[in-house]
Amino acid sequence: MSQDPITNLSRRQLVKLGTAAGAVSLSRRPLAAQSTVKPPDEDKPQLEFLMEIALDVPGGKNTHTVGFPGGERLTVAVTGGTFQGPKLKGIALTPSGDWLVRRPDGSSVLDVRTTLQTDDEQLIYLSYRGIMYTPKGGKLYWRTIPMFETGAEKYAWLNHIVCVGTGVPTPGKAVYRIFQVL
């Protein structure tokens, strides 16, 4: 009486066999064949203007550069600013700043944190990371991913949204147009 070789395998051997079989079957399928479902048009993200923020960044003694292997770190003080949009407006408070990293490829990684005070005296923490880069012979690319935190009931909706920002070159300021992703 012959025994089935599968029934004599240990649990560990079965798992290894299953993992190897799955890897072989996936590796033989072209990536495009793995998913043919296209998202419906109503699933495409839409953008809605949230606000424009203009942060004061005077430079000079308010900026410190620290070199490190492969780049430089700049701490840039934000000394104030304003923001305004259809649903909120106010000022940027201090202390605030950007902990920017300049990379060897010429791009900069932005890391900004500030506290906003609305015109009705509510506080909102804003932080964003982003990339700033000008390709050779090209136009400045300046994009951010803002995140908001607040305990103010009126503005609690900010805690649950996703945004993108575009930079607007302005001397002595960091100006962004922020859009909510719908």
Domains and CATH numbers, the chain: 42-181 (2.40.160.20)
Q: What is the pTM of this model?
A: 0.76
Pick from 117, 135, 138, 134: nearest CA to 126: 117
Q: pLDDT at position 60, please?
A: 87
Task: Give the tens place of pLDDT for each residue, 135-177.
Answer: 999 999 999 999 999 999 999 999 999 999 999 989 999 999 9
Task: Give the tens place of pLDDT for each residue, 101-131.
Answer: 999 999 999 999 999 999 999 999 999 999 9
Distance CA 158, CA 178 (A): 12
